[in-house]
Amino acid sequence: MIKLTLKDGSVKEVESGISAAEIIKGIGMGLYKAACSVKINGEVKDIRTIINDDCEFEVLTFDDIDGKKTFWHTASHILAQAVKRLYPETLLAIGPAIDNGFYYDFDRETPFTTEELEKIETEMKKIVKEGLELEQFELPPDEAIKYLEDKGEIYKVELCREHSDKGEPISFYKQGEFTDLCAGPHLMTTAPVKAFKLTSCTGAYWRGSEKNKMLSRIYATAFPKASELQEYLDRLEEAKKRDHRKLGKELGLFALMDEGPGFPFFLPKGMILKNTLIDYWREVHTRAGYQEISTPMMMNRALWERSGHWDHYKDNMYTTVIDETDFAIKPMNCPGGLLVYKTQLHSYRDLPLRLGELGLVHRHELSGALHGLMRVRCFTQDDAHIFMTKEQIKDEIKGVVALIDEVYSLFGFKYHVELSTRPEDSMGSDEDWEVATDSLKDALEEIGLDFVINEGDGAFYGPKIDFHLEDSLGRTWQCGTIQLDFQLPERFELEYMGADGEKHRPVMIHRVVFGSIERFIGILIEHFAGAFPIWLAPEQVKIIPVSDKQLDYAENLLSRLQNAHIRASIDDRSEKMGYKIRQAQLEKIPYMLVVGDKEMEDGTVSVRSRKDGDIGKMSVDELVSKLIMEIESKVR
């Protein structure tokens, strides 16, 4: 007998050599029908896996991220099988699960048309209805390569050769007449993939390199139920309406130009939005004991070699030569913050030292990866670096988590947390990494914050906590991060004088809240669909006189509002009032103030709210007080 430790901590005894599928059936047939894969000692596996030893055992359904990936991976094989049935001359490349679905890359003479995508969907439905079993088998590397060469699958051969050096068997999955090179895991059959949609077809270079051939990439998604698919498609449609690139242009916030690909141009209204966010950033950081600094945008190669960026990040950096010396435009603010720390001697009484910086950084992104404000080549990073003793680590992490929580809550974002551990390309001792990782884990556990482990995705200098916020459409975005670093203080020989009169090495936290202010603005545009809360809105009030007779009154009203630091303007165009109101609504302005003869006589305004509609007349004093209260309290 072997012992399985289940997710709830309970222990189940089963016969050795039993399959995960049989174990799940023993727990309940309902769970078996919903199961996509299992996690055995933290590793995702097929439910056809045979278990011979004691282990931690978790059943993954479509409600779990890894369960979804298994489901979508199988759906990608169904897509590839349908394509090969209909267009057998097409060559297969890769078909992974991704966020919100999957894709498959194909090599064919011409891109897929809309009509062809419809035919492929129909064939996929037939494959699902056939309920084909997925069977895994393995071949020695030489046999695997010959098997794929005989099929003419040149891309699969290339992938296979890369793994043949290890001498390990190569894994394949077969469903009906279709076989694909694949490590899995997969569903037991094609039958559960009942609802799917091919969403688009684009070009994609093989292996992501512009030097390689352009392939046809079909994007798709799939769900166990048709109702879940429809909900997703509805969200997609809503997302199109909220696209920050579309709204950014309509609302006059920013522009993207061919003269500066990946370098956004902020327009006057966009600058108001950006500066309002920055003012708020300064407000919360001042309150939390941060001091603001500014460091140069470009520094010499020696600095980047010392920080490790020249060796680990050079391909993403813009470089130049000045006076025969290599320089790099900063992709990160950290080295500058370290130099600021070194400008004076520090005592343990100075720590923790919290230094914040709104630094403009530049990173080389491939042109195909650029996307509005979400993926750019230059952005303002709301960085901060905290220097502390080892004893202060947990309290400082807790303080950063509290600050991030305050900011995200203000905008109405939910979030989940990931703890990312040591990557392969890293520097530093095993001991330092263990201490750093345990410190982050202990802090999260003491706070009582749920988190998942993201193995191998830390920064090259230390582990990190990532905050993935959820917007109003249920999409997630990685923004805030906390990175614990023992390496750079060592490399830069940072010191402080301890209470014992001896010199000690401080520990460093790198952290951001917005992440990139530009990207955060893009997220906010889509989250609020451009209808920002009044405190954040570039224009807070539009004054609409009924006719020219009320212009003087409107001007006086504008002056009152501006003196109260309320952003307002007058629509004095010779247009009908209904048209002006509709225009203000399209501009998503929080309040419209209609003034006619009656309002002018009474010294009042007729107030129309973007959110609540017509809310009646108010005195000017009453209105100003209401607006100031809403702006200062930052109501949503």
* Buried/exposed code over 361-377 (b: 16+ C-beta within 10 A; e: otherwise): bbbebeeeeeebbbbbb
Query: What length does the chain have?
Result: 636
Alpha-carbon span 376 to 362, nearest angstrom: 9
Q: 278 burial class (0-12, 13-18, 19+ CB within 10 angstroms)?
A: middle
Q: Which residue, among 517, 530, 523, 332, has the nearest Cα to 415 in the 3D structure?
A: 523
Q: Which residue, among 464, 478, 473, 563, has the nearest Cα to 514 in the 3D structure?
A: 478
Q: Which residue, among 560, 583, 588, has the nearest Cα to 572 in the 3D structure?
A: 583
3-state helix, strand, coil in the chain (%, to 5): 40, 30, 30
Alpha-carbon span 613 to 617, nearest angstrom: 12
Given phi > 0 = left and psi -120 to 50 = alpha, else beta, which region is 349? Answer: alpha
Alpha-carbon span 188 to 132, nearest angstrom: 9
Helix (H) or strand (E) holding 497: strand 496-497
Collapsed DSSP state (helix, strand, coil) of residue 472: coil
Eight-state DSSP code of residue 14 = E
Query: Which residues have a catalytic role annotated?
Result: 334, 363, 381, 383, 385, 464, 510
Question: DSSP of 178-197, one letter per residue?
Answer: EEEE------SBSTT--EEE
